[in-house]
Amino acid sequence: MKQISAYANANIALVKYWGKNDSGLNIPAVSSLSMTLADHGTQVFIAPSATSQHELLMDTKALAKSAHDRLAAYLEAVRARYSFGHYFRIDSKSSIPFASGLASSASFFAALACALNEMLALKLSSQELSCLARMGSGSAARSIFGGFVGLHGGHDLRDDDAFAFPLVVHPSLKLHLVVAVVDDTPKPISSRDAMKMSMASPLYQGFVASHREDFLGAQQALGDGAFARLGEIMEHSTLKMFATMWSTRPAIMYWRPQSLALIEAIYDLRRAHGPIAYFTMDAGPNVKVLCEEDALPLVLRTIAERSVTKNIFCVAPGGAVHVVR
């Protein structure tokens, strides 16, 4: 049996998925929309195991128990679906800055799904590949595609309908994300657990009920090249997601004072220069700012001036998952 390697970029959601339906198949409760990030991703290496169990590594070192158990469970779920007899040695290497809030699990599971497809000669379509990645991590479904990507979610959705798909973007939109890292210590609670808890919030139903409008509105704005409309929807979706976390018991608080300082900086920037930059955040304290190419120098300067970041970097839209030959 051969050795296979595959690479996938990470992605950041502009319209957030938060919560899953009760199928146990990792199906997002709501649809989402993301940007795939250039040159920030994970390469997965897969080969037959020399033993009668999986050997699961990261950067050549054995995975910690929780990550090992999650990956082993994923491989068993894949085995149940595509019945194969092998055990694998799986290693990975990520180019994503540590604890930057660019979920490396999305790029990892997308690259792994691609490598398994090749290894087991499954001949899956991109749509099927996206479902296979989603079984590992919801947002991984989106990292199968490059550019801007939609992912179907819903409480009644069947497994093979919860796939990602590429979106049409107006050629005039030259979008970039600026990632502002304010805290790189481990997060207090995983997105998996936080999501589960948030679903008990009295605000969660409102998040779900109003989501479709955001999802469709953002797609329309991307197609129309309407940057400000897209940015407004992104901020609204982000804050609605956090509202469900803040209103659960106990409350989940990922934000740090530095996060709020950067959000204020973006508001100040818009007051002074118009609708040129919008923020989003995920299950962590770091802030990502969406802007067009010509606003990048000003956005970077504004963030740096607040002196609350440990690291700042810019990312352009990136390409799709692929086998590394």
Task: Give the Cα separation of 255 and 284 in Å (integer).
Answer: 7
Cβ at position 105, least distance to ligand PMV in Å = 6
Q: Which of 103, 120, 149, 245 binds ligand PMV (CB under 6 A)?
A: 103
Task: Give the Cα separation of 143 and 43 in Å (integer).
Answer: 13
143 sits near ligand PMV (criterion: CB under 6 A): no
Cβ at position 305, least distance to ligand PMV in Å = 28
Q: With CB under 6 A as the contact rule, which of the stretches 101-109, 162-170, 210-218, 308-316 interacts with ligand PMV? A: 101-109
**Stretch 197-216: interaction string toward ligand PMV, x if CB under 6 A:** --------------------
Site for ligand PMV in 225-284 (CB under 6 A): 282-283
Task: Give the Cα separation of 80 and 82 in Å (integer).
Answer: 6
Q: Which of 27, 37, 56, 106 binds ligand PMV (CB under 6 A)?
A: 106
Of 319, 321, 310, 320, nearest in space to 284 by CA? 310
Neighbours of 297 (CB within 10 A): 9
Question: Strand locations in 59-102, DSSP E?
Answer: 61-62, 88-94
139 sits near ligand PMV (criterion: CB under 6 A): yes
Q: Which of 191, 248, 258, 302 binds ligand PMV (CB under 6 A)?
A: 191
Cβ at position 16, least distance to ligand PMV in Å = 4
Task: Give the Cα separation of 178 and 100 in Å (integer).
Answer: 11
221 sits near ligand PMV (criterion: CB under 6 A): no
**Stretch 109-128: interaction string toward ligand PMV, x if CB under 6 A:** --------------------
71 sits near ligand PMV (criterion: CB under 6 A): no
Size of the site for ligand PMV (CB under 6 A): 14
Q: Which is nearer to ligand PMV, 244 or 258 (CB)?
A: 244
Neighbours of 311 (CB within 10 A): 14
Q: Which is nearer to ligand PMV, 4 or 283 (CB)?
A: 283
Cβ 67 vs Cβ 109: under 8 Å: no
Question: Cα–Cα distances in Å, from 121 out to 40, 116, 126, 142, 302?
Answer: 27, 8, 14, 22, 50
309 sits near ligand PMV (criterion: CB under 6 A): no
Cβ 182 vs Cβ 286: under 8 Å: yes
Residue 246 DSSP one-character state: H
Task: Give the Cα separation of 102 and 179 in Å (integer).
Answer: 9
17 sits near ligand PMV (criterion: CB under 6 A): yes
Task: Give the Cα separation of 121 and 230 in Å (integer).
Answer: 39
Residues that bind ligand PMV (CB under 6 A): 13, 16-18, 32, 103, 105-106, 137-139, 191, 282-283
